[in-house]
Amino acid sequence: MRELHKFTDERHANLLADVLKSRSMPAEVAQEENAWVVWVLSDDHRDKAREVLAEFQQNPDAPEFKTAASTLKQQQLDARAEEKKTRKLQVRIQDRWSGVWWKSYPATMVLIGISVLVVLLCTDWQSMGKGQSMIPPTCNNELSRLRNALFIQPPSFSGLTQSGDQARFGSPSLLSILQSGQIWRFITPIFLHFSVLHILFNMMWLRNLGRGI
């Protein structure tokens, strides 16, 4: 670090330091009694800094020096704003990886929530436990409008049995689905689960895999 010049005017000292910085020559201003000393931080810049000093002493109030100082201050403000933005991003990432999983992975939580809600709304709870299966069925309410709206194609109802109307599905027709405008049917079958084990294991996999994305 080399002393470049002493000023009796603090404003001129700071202005020269800003001009040097704007030209990629790091500099500092230090007060010594009634003077302000401009220091050049690198010996490699000493000769070039002296040339700038000579120009500066001829007309310290030249527009080019004021412009250089203004540009430097704006660059410093931009750098601080970018640094602040980066710190916030780092904090968010840390919170994501260290927080509870349902807060860290909201998209996964939404998918699980929708799947559970569909099961609750589309299951015939009155018939629960009446069948022979040891695994309770879910999404088995064939008259549920929500359930039938989630299949890849709408059902047609035919016949009457002891349990009521039966939903029948033909072969999925891509063209008919596109023509009807019911594009959601290509996605919504993922929310249908037809047994307790089905949704239990799917949600476990979704939770584990969703945390890795």
Rounded CA separation 70/197 (Å): 67
Q: What is the pLDDT along the chain (213 residues), one digit of tens a residue?
A: 788 899 988 888 988 898 888 888 888 999 888 899 999 998 889 899 999 899 989 888 888 888 888 888 888 888 888 888 888 777 666 666 566 656 667 888 899 999 999 999 999 888 776 666 677 889 988 888 899 889 887 776 554 444 555 556 555 677 777 788 888 988 999 999 999 999 999 999 998 887 666
In the prediction, which pLDDT does 165 show? Answer: 52
In the prediction, which pLDDT does 80 show? Answer: 86
21: helix, coil or strand? helix
Bridge-based pairing state of the strands 2-7 and 35-40: antiparallel
Provide the residue ranges of all domains of the chain, joining segments of one domain with +.
2-79, 101-210
Distances (CA, A) of 96 to 99, 100, 107, 178, 208: 6, 8, 13, 39, 15
- Between 46-58 and 10-22, two packed helices, what is the crossing angle to 10 degrees? 130
Q: Does domain 2-79 have CATH number 3.40.50.200?
A: no
Of 157, 139, 156, which is closest to residue 196 (Cα–Cα)?
A: 139
Rounded CA separation 100/52 (Å): 57
In the prediction, which pLDDT does 161 show? Answer: 47
